[in-house]
Structure 1
Amino acid sequence: MATPHINANKGDFAKTVLMPGDPLRAKFIAEKFLTDVKLVTDVRNMFGYTGYYNGRKISVMGSGMGQPSIGIYSYELFTAYDVENIIRIGSAGSYQEHVDIRDIVLVQGASTESDFAHQYGLPGTYAPLASFELLDKAYNIAKMNGQHVHVGNSLSSDVFYNFQKDSWKKWAELGVLCVEMEAAALYMNAAALGKQALAILTISDSLVTGKSTTAEERETTFTQMMEIALEFAE
């Protein structure tokens, strides 16, 4: 049965969904890595696909940009389509000199300046965390493949163009590795609904060194994080 933002049928999605922000990156992953691929949703051109990777049924779908967007799609996948695991695969900006462009970050905790958690009426500040089961699998697969990954805290920000130009340095001083715009909301939805989530990020640019990658590179060449996610997705 379709939801307001997804027009797939019940059973069209696998238990695990890989979720890049860009729907064109979802298309790239489906066409490059999956077999017997089927487009299962295309509302607002937010493409979702289901296919097979090494005989395992896997889905991939775009989330859009920002916590409100991934909050909508992850909620509908978790509650209406029996999805158990969502693995965000996306890009991030580095806050640390040792976290270079094209490095991979496994997001253990997702700090945020968003008010997304306000809906839960909590008497304090909630700390959104990854599923340890998924994090452990991703870390060990990367290690087995000889891939160096960073594990730690990221910032899920609602602001891309921040008028306080140096505000990122305060997060960096507390060891936050990088910034992106979605993980915290995904982790909160998963926690509230008894599901599992993990964000695997590739560094696209550095606020420390000024180095960056192109939009085309971000769409088509950040394959290591995709391969890590695919190896343990089931």
Structure 2
Amino acid sequence: MGTAHNKAEVGDIAKTVLMPGDPLRAKYIAETYLTEVKCFNSVRNMLGFTGKYNGKEISVMGSGMGMPSIGIYSYELYQFYNVESIIRIGSAGALHEDIDLKDIVFAQGACTDSRFAYQYELPGSFAPIADFSLLEQAVSEARALGTRFKVGNVVSSDIFYNVYPEAAKKWAGMGVLCVEMEAAALYMNAAKLHKKALAILSISDHILKGTELSPEERQTGFSEMMEIALKLA
């Protein structure tokens, strides 16, 4: 079968897919955490792999940066490859005073400055939210591990270099926990196609405090996020 962006055949991809933004991070995850690994996609170097974790089949694939990119890949996984759950695993910039570097944020909802939802021709604004069963399980796993975490609203922005300096403060004023670039489109695709989605975010920098992790510290936070995500498969 395959698509313009994915050369996999139906059956090559597991029911649950972990999606980091970086395809090389997908490769690292597959090589580090999975066994019996097979590469199912290399089109545009958006690498995808299927393997086993504790005997259960799971896939991992890059999403690229931004909502247009994850919008394409997640839609195809749901619609053409019978994927049931996609778990975004990525980094985010904190907007809340009570969130520290290396904390984990579970995106209960995803605000956005994108017009991704215009395609649905809704008579109002759509509120993209996570699948509750995945969210509930993720929180339970985080508590068992003793991981610092927050659950709440995030903002998925189309803009990385925002020329409006007050944008972050405006979102923070509404209680938004952090900013990233993909969750809202993923949640909307899941809603439209009646599938499951959750974004698990590791805080790599604090937008308002101006602090950020070193590469070594980022790896530690990533490992905790991965330990939670893998148990959701």
TM range (shorter): over 0.9
TM-score by length of 1: 0.97
CA distance in 2, matches of 1:82, 1:31: 24
CA distance in 2, matches of 1:139, 1:9: 34
Question: What is the CA RMSD across the aligned residues, in angstroms?
Answer: 1.2
State the partner residue of 1:201. 201
Unaligned runs of 5+ in 2: none
State the partner residue of 2:6. 6
TM alignment of 1:11-50, pairs within 5 A: 11-50=11-50
CA contact (8 A) 2:202 2:221 kept: no
Using a 3 Å threshold, how does the CA distance of structure 1 residues 148 and 219 change in structure 2: closer, same or farther?
Answer: closer
How far is 1:216 from its partner? Answer: 6.8
State the partner residue of 1:108. 108
The one-letter amino acid paired with 1:106 is F
CA distance in 2, matches of 1:139, 1:218: 21
Using a 3 Å threshold, how does the CA distance of structure 1 residues 156 and 119 change in structure 2: closer, same or farther?
Answer: same
State the partner residue of 2:162. 162
Q: Secondary structure at the match of 2:30?
A: helix
CA contact (8 A) 2:102 2:221 kept: no
Using a 3 Å threshold, how does the CA distance of structure 1 residues 216 and 21 change in structure 2: closer, same or farther?
Answer: farther
How far is 1:178 from its partner? Answer: 0.2
How far is 1:148 from its partner? Answer: 2.0
Give identity over the alignment, percent. 63
The one-letter amino acid paired with 2:53 is Y
State the partner residue of 2:128. 128
CA distance in 2, matches of 1:9, 1:215: 36
TM alignment of 1:178-217, pairs within 5 A: 178-214=178-214
How far is 1:215 from its partner? Answer: 5.5
Using a 3 Å threshold, how does the CA distance of structure 1 residues 220 and 25 change in structure 2: closer, same or farther?
Answer: farther
The one-letter amino acid paired with 1:95 is L
CA distance in 1, matches of 2:46, 2:218: 18
Q: Secondary structure at the match of 2:231?
A: helix
How far is 1:119 from its partner? Answer: 0.1
Superposed CA deviations along residues 165-188 of structure 1, whole A, max 9, x for unmatched, are: 121101101100000000000000
How far is 1:213 from its partner? Answer: 2.3
CA distance in 2, matches of 1:227, 1:59: 15
Deviating beyond 2 angstroms after TM superposition, the runs of 4 or more aligned structure 1 residues are 213-221
CA contact (8 A) 1:92 1:204 kept: yes
Q: Secondary structure at the match of 2:211?
A: coil
TM-score by length of 2: 0.97
CA contact (8 A) 2:21 2:64 kept: yes
State the partner residue of 1:99. 99
Across the two proteins, how many residue pairs are aligned to each other? 233
Superposed CA deviations along residues 12-62 of structure 1, whole A, max 9, x for unmatched, are: 000000000001111111111000111110111000000000000000000
